[in-house]
Amino acid sequence: MAKEKKKAFFITIEGPEGAGKSSCAAILTRHLEAHGYPVICTREPGGTPLAEKLREVVKSKPDQNETIHPETELLLMEAARAQHVREKIAPALASGTSVICDRFSDSTCAYQGGGRDMDMGTINFLNDFATGGCVPDFTLLLDLPPETGFERVARRRSADADNDRFEAEKLDFHRRVREAFLALAKGSPERIRVIDASKTLDNVIEQVEKVAHELIF
Ligand code: TMP
């Protein structure tokens, strides 16, 4: 029997910096459009004017000697998400436009849960609250050893990268983030597809194309 065509997809892309998330988003966009799906690309934290302001705040080092505490960081991520879902993601999906989002609630589990070792019960509760139950149809996790991600990011390091609180984190933090992502994928194998992003860009593109063929029709 022919598969019934889905109205709109909500697809998220997860993984560290330097894994090729933008190339992955471009491939998925092409694939969706080729199948007649209108699509928008967006990102977290961010995606709306207010959420982009929160992104600036949460990503950069604060003035003077103030510290952004993990609890503050978590709430800023969730505040940005609550706005993004209601202002942009949910309306797009409701109107039949597919959404590709660079990072979503899995990033909170990995960075705040794994990286910052925060309570997963609290994170799950806040993720549910912020998303209002908006769950991705599927997620591509671009998996990469943090050492490789660091090398790639260092090669294309921008002037404001020094002020990025997350890029400034030590290797151990990024190892915990990676482990947390892989644990999430293990727990939701249907939704989260792992892509080996340590391979060449051509090979990564091939893997993403294959998954896109399988999941988007
Ligand atoms: P990026 O979009 O350039 O990757 O930067 C976003 C940073 O924010 C990245 O280092 C991961 C981090 N982040 C969290 O810590 N928690 C979250 O929930 C999200 C969406 C991102």
80: left (phi over 0), alpha (psi -120 to 50) or beta: alpha
Cα 77 to ligand 1 centroid, rounded to whole Å: 8
Query: Which mutation among 17, 103, 127, 158 tests ligand 1's pocket best, with the greatest number of atoms within 8 A of CB?
Result: 103
Closest ligand 1 atom to the C-alpha of 58? 8
Report the mean per-residue pLDDT for the chain.
Answer: 93
Summarize pLDDT for 48-58 with one digit per residue, the tens. Answer: 999 999 999 99
pLDDT of residue 150: 85
Summarize pLDDT for 73-123 with one digit per residue, the tens. Answer: 999 999 999 999 999 999 999 999 999 999 999 999 999 999 999 999 999
Is the pTM higher than 0.75? The answer reads: yes
Sequence-ordered alpha helix ranges (H) in the chain? 21-34, 49-59, 70-84, 90-94, 105-107, 120-131, 146-155, 171-187, 201-215
Cα 30 to ligand 1 centroid, rounded to whole Å: 25
Cα 111 to ligand 1 centroid, rounded to whole Å: 8
Cα 103 to ligand 1 centroid, rounded to whole Å: 7
CB under 6 Å to ligand 1: residues?
17, 43-45, 59, 77, 103, 107-108, 111-112, 166
Summarize pLDDT for 10-30 with one digit per residue, the tens. Answer: 999 999 988 999 999 999 999
